[in-house]
Structure 1
């Protein structure tokens, strides 16, 4: 997977989800522009500002509030770190793991999400 800024990483996807994802694969990649950044999109799935706006609407409709898609990243970082620590991972290893999962190059960036 190659994300914004050219970061490339492998991600593990359960087999059943991968099969569903492959059903949404374009025959040819499509160039899309989101927030003035061009991407090659290979799958017909939500992304970028359009996805973020949709997430906010669904959250507001369901919960009567939204912390936004970026708030979701904060919650993920906090919950995932706690999960790893409760499973006996030392703090630094847990932090580095969450940092990599979030696509950060430095754990210090991830610590911002833990406040």
Structure 2
């Protein structure tokens, strides 16, 4: 997966999800513009601002409020840290794990999500 600034990450996903994803692959990649940045998109799946707006609308319909896609990242970090803590992981190991899961290279960035 290639992210902001050309960052490339290898992401492991279960085979059944990989098969579903491959069913969404474009025959040829398409260029999309999101927030004034050009991206090469290889799959017909939601991303960027369109995904964020869609997520917010769905959340408001289902829950009557939304903290947006970024709020989802905050909730994930906080709940995952609590889960790893309950499993007995040292805080530094849990923080490093969550940081990597969120695509951060520095744990200090993940700390912001834990406030």
TM-score of Structure 1 vs Structure 2, range by shorter chain? over 0.9
Number of residue pairs the alignment of both structures matches = 115
1:33, 1:84 → 2: CA distance? 37
- Cα deviation for residue 90 of structure 1 reads 1.0
Alignment pair present for 1:17 and 2:37: no
User: Mind listing any 5+ residue stretches in structure 1 that lack a counterpart?
Assistant: none
Q: CA RMSD in A?
A: 0.8
* Contact 1:7/1:103 (8 A) holds in 2: no
Q: Which structure 2 segments of 5+ residues have no match?
A: none
**TM-score, normalized by length of structure 1?**
0.96
Counterparts of 2:59 and 2:90, CA distance in 1: 34
* 2:56 matches 1:29: no
TM-score under structure 2 length normalisation: 0.96
| Counterpart for residue 39 of structure 1 | 39
Q: Could you list the runs of 4 or more consecutive aligned residues of structure 1 that deviate by over 3 angstroms after TM superposition?
A: none
